[in-house]
Structure 1
Amino acid sequence: MPERRVATEMGWDGATAPQLRVIASDELTEADVAAIRAILWAAFGDGEDAFAEDDWTHALGGRHFILEMGGDIVSHASVVERTLWIGEQAMRTGYVEAVATAPDRQNLGFGSVVMAAATAWIRERFELGGLGTGRITFYERLGWEPWRGPAFVRGPAGLERTPD
């Protein structure tokens, strides 16, 4: 299991290792939702990069990778199925959303644990993995590669170029 491998690499043993839950959006409890949302809004802060309701909505409908330590949720990532197109080829894509670790638990490897599990899940089930981020180096060290080509979104008026 990827979470066991990463936990070992991070130096956690069975007694201290965080526990990973992988559940569907409709299995989230009210307490899960409240804790995850609190982490997301705190981790992204205010300003240009602030987490918004639209961001939360995009994270629903797939699988949630929830890392708990001592009964508290400390890190989260979501994978939602999307269709990305490469030229004329539709690709069934596991799209990563809402990745965050509680601010007081950052830089301890928790984000790496949830992303290692999410990445393994994507590789087993999808043709492609995708995400949007300003923290490219974090994902690159976990095996992700930046898209080097142009990117567009399909809107009511057709294809629209995205800024990044």
Structure 2
Amino acid sequence: MTTASPAPGLRTAHTADLTPAELRAARALLDVAFENDFRDGDWEHGLGGMHALVHDEAGLAAHGSVVMRRARHQGRWLRVGYVEAVAVRPDVRRTGLGGRVMGALERIVDRAYDLGALSASDDGARLYTARGWQPWTGRIHALSPDGIVHLPEEEGTTYVRPALAAPPDPAHELLFDWRDGDVL
């Protein structure tokens, strides 16, 4: 179901409610924004949840999505709203569009999940920390087909946003569900 947004040019919609043309436009934006370093697997990770899209007179200007993941923390499996595929067209960067996209995604995370999480580049981290996302300082693991694996390369680039639950304790690991490609 597509929902209207109070901000002009911004809308949220589930993957199922986006047209093939809208999906192609989002994928093309990600290719441009990430200088053709956004892989098909990365795109797959951003599908199946809610998307925030900002349009301007030139077309799709910004995009992001939030998908459901599971993470175990202190013996409890949490519903995690995992933010994916956040991008702003190069000609309109630093104009607040990334913040508008994140605002829409954070609203979804805050109302529907126990925890928000994302993996950030150094450039992206500035946006997320300015919005209250916190670097995860604990250990990160994933439940792989071969058992539990430690993901030290994800430590330091993973950010969390407590939503409905109390903030997770970094003295205890986050154990994420497995997925093909980049796990986080």
Q: TM-score, normalised by structure 2?
A: 0.76
What is the match of residue 154 of structure 1?
143
> CA deviation digits over 1:70-94, x for unaligned, max 9?
2711000101011011132211011
Gaps spanning 5+ residues in structure 1: where?
8-17
Distance, in Å, in 1 between the alignment partners of 2:48 and 2:24 is 17
SS of the residue corresponding to residue 85 of structure 1 reads strand
Q: Is residue 110 of structure 1 aligned with residue 100 of structure 2?
A: no
Question: Which of 33, 41, 47 pairs up with 1:43?
Answer: 33
SS of the residue corresponding to residue 131 of structure 1 reads strand
Distance, in Å, in 1 between the alignment partners of 2:91 and 2:120 is 21
Give the letter aligned to residue 34 of structure 1.
R
RMSD of the TM alignment (CA)? 1.5
Distance, in Å, in 2 between the alignment partners of 1:143 and 1:31 is 33
Distance, in Å, in 2 between the alignment partners of 1:41 and 1:60 is 15
Distance, in Å, in 2 between the alignment partners of 1:84 and 1:20 is 30
Distance, in Å, in 2 between the alignment partners of 1:36 and 1:105 is 15
**1:1-164 residue pairs with structure 2 within 5 A?**
18-46=8-36, 50-70=37-57, 72-134=59-121, 135-162=124-151, 163-164=153-154
Shift of the alpha carbon at 1:105?
A: 1.2
Runs of 4+ in 1 over 2 A off after TM superposition: none
Give the letter aligned to residue 132 of structure 1.
S
Point out the structure with the larger helix share.
Answer: 1
Distance, in Å, in 1 between the alignment partners of 2:115 and 2:19 is 29
> CA deviation digits over 1:78-131, x for unaligned, max 9?
010110111322110111010001111111110110001101111011110011
Distance, in Å, in 2 between the alignment partners of 1:87 and 1:149 is 12
Q: TM-score, normalised by structure 1?
A: 0.84
Shift of the alpha carbon at 1:37?
A: 0.7
Shift of the alpha carbon at 1:34?
A: 1.4
In the alignment of these two chains, the number of paired residues is: 147
Give the letter aligned to residue 147 of structure 1.
W
Identity of aligned residues (%): 35
SS of the residue corresponding to residue 99 of structure 2 reads helix
Q: Is the Cα contact below 8 Å between 1:64 and 1:78 reproduced in 2?
A: yes
Give the letter aligned to residue 103 of structure 2.
A
Give the letter aligned to residue 144 of structure 2.
G
Q: Is the Cα contact below 8 Å between 1:39 and 1:103 reproduced in 2?
A: no
Distance, in Å, in 2 between the alignment partners of 1:102 and 1:73 is 8
